[in-house]
Structure 1
Amino acid sequence: MKTVSLKVLDKAIWFSPPNNRIKKSDFEKPFRKIYLNKSSEESPGTSGFFKSKKCNKEVYYESHLELKLFSTLELAEQVIDFGSQPMPISFKYNERISTYHPDFYYLLSDNTCVLGEVKMLYEMGYFYNWSKWKGLKHYCRKNGIGFLITDGKYDIRDLKEMYINRNFRDELLTLFQKTDCVDWNTIYDLKLKYGLKMLDLACFVYQENVRWYRKPTRFVKESFI
Structure 2
Amino acid sequence: MKIGIGLPNQVRNVRPTVISEWARRSEEPGFSTLGSVGRIAYPGVMDTIALAAAAGATSRIGLISNVLLGPVWPPVLLAKEAASIDAVSEGRFMLGIGLGGRPDDFVVDGLGPRGTGKRLDRDLEVYKSLWRGEIPPGCDNPVVPEGTREVPLLFWRSGRRPCDRPGVRGHRRRRACVQPDERRHRRGGQAGRRSAVTADRRGAPTPVPRPRHTPDTTATLRTRWRVSDDSDTGRNIHA
TM-score range, shorter chain: under 0.3
TM-score by length of 2: 0.24
Q: Which has a greater percent of helix? A: 1
TM-score by length of 1: 0.25
1 or 2 for the larger relative contact order (CA 8 Å, sep ≥6)?
1
